[in-house]
């Protein structure tokens, strides 16, 4: 996703735009070239006198990015014209050193390792944003642990839950994503260095020592062997970020549905110019949710591209590798944008607890039918209790009375259940099951992760 896109602020984050900017993309590739020169000299493959000139030229400020982009059209990738420009910059200071630029490496080594450096930055940024989102969700879950609201299945009223357990469900998913990001960061922090066909043949018996020194210089792991045509690492990045984007979309879907005028249980933060309409002054649109949902719509197809690109030919790919270049940054940008949007939405979320309670009562107590049936089952048995309550529900609908009124009016029921027991049947919190315990378990997991 180019940082110059007019809608980039909606669908990405400022931090991710910087990470995948042209400048940073090229600088990460240059970081590889500088570290390569140091590693080669450390293993006596090139003269140490060449390192200073090469490292000094490895600054993006010395690269003509417009010319680089234009030359990539014919070269087939960015590395070839970049090495050409870098060599010219080194030659201007030290003609002998220019002959040692990019020694032993191939274009894919530069591009893949540069991408690994960018992905490491991207995951570090997301780690911080995810931690902040988790804290916000923990606050909501704790504060609303015992706030009753209507649970909905198939988009219809089901049984009472609490808003705390709903927020805890969001938080629990985020905790899993935090764990995935930690594991993923370790797996993708690897060097790519194999030379023309992945054997480092041009370095003779100095290949592995140079690779080891290069990995250390870049603070990357040294893999068992170069992975030019094995793309599971980058595909895993795509799929993990796809999972995270899906969770953010699920949260956004819930909030947007609860923000509908007829429901009015939740609302995005109020701010000047936020969520308005060009024609309707009264509108308060869930714009943050819309951005996250747009990302959740777009990312799956991009993840599919990354999975399809895994089928590489022999030792180096024709088309699959190239398909990754713009796709993976777009996935990261969309995911980061959705993450920042939802963090902002949840941090300022308006929770209308009165409307939550009122919505439970919309069906005149019918949503508490299972609670009544469970109480009666202790006296009548499950089947008979179910049949009686089902009939009582039909009576309530036909007579336009509440289910509580129908229950109280039946002498057979009042002979089995006390007035207090009947009242409890219609208390949403009394039939919220283990909601509070579930919230506590998730909050404990969140505290443990932070410790």
Verify that 398 and 304 share a domain, yes or no: no
As for how many domains the chain has, the answer is 3
- Distance between CA 175 and CA 172 in Å, rounded? 5
Say yes or no: 371 and 355 in one domain: no
Residue 352 lies in a domain: yes
Which of 362, 382, 415 finishes a domain? 362
Same domain, 114 and 83: no
Q: Which of 362, 394, 425 represents a domain boundary (last residue)? A: 362
Give the pLDDT score at 413.
Answer: 87
Q: Are residues 165 and 296 in the same domain?
A: yes
Task: Looking at the structure, tell me whether residues 101 and 214 fall in a common domain.
Answer: yes
Following DSSP, what letter does each residue of 256-310 receive, concatenated?
HHHTSTTT-SEEPPP-TTSS--SS-TT----HHHHHHHHHHHHHHHHHHHHHHTT
Query: Is residue 184 located within the same domain as residue 272?
Result: yes
Residues 117 and 238 in one domain: yes
Is residue 378 a part of any domain in this protein? yes
Decide: 275 and 283 in contact? Cβ < 8 Å: yes
Asked if residue 195 belongs to a domain, the reply is no
State the residue range of the domain holding 142. Answer: 107-190+227-362
Tokens read off for 442: 């998730």
Give the residue among 96, 122, 97, 94 at the shortest CA–CA distance from 20: 122
Say if 11 falls within a structural domain. yes
Q: What is the pLDDT along the chain (451 residues), one digit of tens a residue?
A: 444 578 888 899 999 999 999 999 999 999 999 999 999 999 999 999 999 999 999 999 999 999 999 999 999 999 999 999 999 999 999 999 999 999 999 999 999 999 999 999 999 999 999 999 999 999 999 999 999 999 999 999 999 999 999 999 999 999 999 999 999 999 999 999 999 999 999 999 999 999 999 999 999 999 999 999 999 999 999 999 999 999 999 999 999 999 999 999 999 998 655 555 445 455 678 899 999 999 999 999 999 999 999 999 999 989 999 999 999 999 999 999 999 999 999 999 999 999 999 999 999 999 999 999 999 999 989 999 999 999 999 999 999 999 999 989 988 888 898 999 989 999 999 999 999 999 999 999 999 999 8
**Does residue 432 share a domain with residue 405?**
yes
Kindly state whether residue 367 falls inside one of the protein's structural domains: yes
The reply to whether 298 and 441 lie within a common domain is no
Distance from C-alpha of 290 to C-alpha of 18, rounded to nearest angstrom: 23
Alpha-carbon distances, residue 114 vs 31, 78, 178, 201, 348 (angstroms): 8, 11, 24, 22, 37
How far is Cα of residue 47 from the mean position of the Cα atoms in its chain? 46
Angle of helix 22-42 versus helix 65-75 axis, rounded to 10: 80
Single pTM value for the model: 0.93
Q: How far apart are CA 347 and CA 11, in angstroms?
A: 19
Q: Are residues 172 and 34 in the same domain?
A: no
> Of 333, 362, 391, which residue is a domain's last?
362
216: tokens are: 């250390």
pLDDT at 3: 46
Domain-located, residue 375:
yes
Same domain for 157 and 270: yes
Active site amino acids: 277, 316
For the chain, give the number of residues.
Answer: 451
Same domain, yes or no: 337 and 294: yes
The CATH number linked to 333 is 1.20.200.10
Burial class (CB in 10 A: 0-12, 13-18, 19+), 192: buried
> Is residue 84 assigned to a domain?
yes
Task: Please state, in angstroms and as integers, the Cα–Cα distance from residue 390 to each residue in 159, 362, 399, following that order.
Answer: 16, 18, 14
131 part of a folded domain: yes
The CATH number linked to 428 is 1.10.40.30
User: CATH number for the domain including 51?
Assistant: 1.10.275.10
- Provide the Cα torsion 232, 235, 241, 247; round to 10°: -90
Contacts of 278 (CB under 8 A, 6+ apart): none
């Amino acid at each position: 996703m180019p940082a110059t896109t007019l809608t980039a602020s909606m669908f990405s984050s400022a931090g991710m735009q910087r990470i995948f900017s042209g400048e940073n993309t090229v600088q990460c590739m240059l970081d590889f070239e500088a570290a390569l020169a140091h590693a080669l000299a450390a293993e006596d493959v090139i003269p140490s006198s060449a390192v200073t000139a090469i490292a000094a030229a490895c600054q993006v400020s010395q690269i003509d990015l417009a010319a680089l982009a234009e030359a990539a059209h014919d070269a087939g990738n960015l590395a070839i014209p970049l090495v050409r420009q870098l060599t010219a910059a080194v030659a201007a200071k030290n003609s002998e050193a220019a002959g040692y630029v990019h020694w032993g490496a191939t274009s894919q080594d530069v591009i893949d390792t540069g991408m690994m450096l960018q992905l490491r930055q991207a995951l570090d940024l997301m780690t911080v944003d995810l931690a902040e989102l988790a804290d916000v969700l923990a606050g909501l879950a704790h504060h609303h642990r015992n706030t009753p609201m209507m649970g909905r299945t198939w988009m219809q009223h089901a049984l009472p839950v609490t808003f705390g357990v709903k927020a805890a469900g969001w938080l629990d998913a985020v905790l899993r994503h935090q764990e995935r990001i930690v594991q993923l960061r370790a797996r993708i922090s690897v060097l790519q260095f194999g030379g023309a066909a992945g054997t480092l043949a041009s370095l003779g018996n100095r290949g592995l020592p140079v690779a080891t020194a290069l990995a250390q210089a870049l603070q990357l792991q040294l893999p068992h062997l170069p992975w030019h045509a094995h793309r599971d690492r980058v595909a895993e990045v795509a799929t993990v970020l796809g999972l995270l984007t899906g969770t953010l979309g699920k949260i956004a879907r819930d909030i947007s549905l609860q923000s509908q005028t007829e429901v009015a249980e939740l609302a995005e933060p109020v701010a000047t110019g936020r969520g308005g309409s060009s024609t309707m002054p009264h509108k308060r649109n869930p714009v943050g949710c819309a951005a996250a949902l747009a990302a959740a719509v777009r990312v799956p197809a991009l993840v599919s591209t990354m999975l399809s690109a895994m089928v590489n030919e022999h030792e180096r790919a024709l088309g699959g590798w190239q398909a990754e270049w713009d796709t993976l940054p777009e996935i990261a940008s969309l995911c980061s944008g959705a993450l920042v949007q939802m963090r902002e939405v949840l941090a300022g979320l308006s929770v209308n607890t009165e409307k939550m309670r009122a919505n439970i009562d919309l069906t005149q107590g019918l949503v508490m039918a299972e609670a009544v049936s469970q109480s009666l089952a202790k006296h009548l048995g499950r089947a008979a209790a179910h049949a009686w309550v089902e009939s009582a529900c039909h009576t309530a609908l036909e007579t336009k009375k509440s289910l509580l009124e129908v229950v109280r009016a039946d002498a057979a029921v009042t002979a089995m259940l006390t007035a207090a027991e009947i009242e409890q049947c219609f208390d949403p919190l009394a039939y919220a099951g283990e909601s509070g315990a579930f919230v506590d378990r998730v909050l404990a997991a969140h505290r443990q992760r932070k410790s």
